[in-house]
Amino acid sequence: MVRWRIVQTPEYASAVASLAPSSREALASLYRILAQGPLPEESLLAVMPYAAIPNAYSVPVGGQGLVVYLVLPAKQTVGLVGLIWTSEG
């Protein structure tokens, strides 16, 4: 099985650091699954293309929000770029 490398922008990392521990744990679980396959046709997650941005996707995190990421297939890399949080959890 090919594992994808997960990287975070500094802004993304800062947003995650401000979340409650339970939310960070939910994100850690999501990252483990994304590393196995970030594309809609290969992921166990509810991955959706993100608007009209090429190679950008979003995936829900529980009922708390969305993670937005870019996929760089040539480098087997997932770049975590956005966190849209809808709850305090």
Alpha helices (H) along 1-89: 10-17, 21-34
pLDDT in tens, 5-53: 999 999 999 999 999 898 899 999 999 999 999 999 999 999 999 887 8
CA distances from 77 to 7, 30, 36, 57, 73 (A): 7, 15, 11, 13, 6
How many whole angstroms separate alpha carbon 44 and alpha carbon 74?
21
Indicate the pTM of the whole model.
0.88
- CATH tag for 5-85 (out of 3.40.50.970, 3.40.50.300, 3.30.565.10, 3.30.2310.20): 3.30.2310.20
User: Domain residues of the chain, as ranges?
Assistant: 5-85
Phi and psi at residue 54, to the nearest 5°: -60, 140
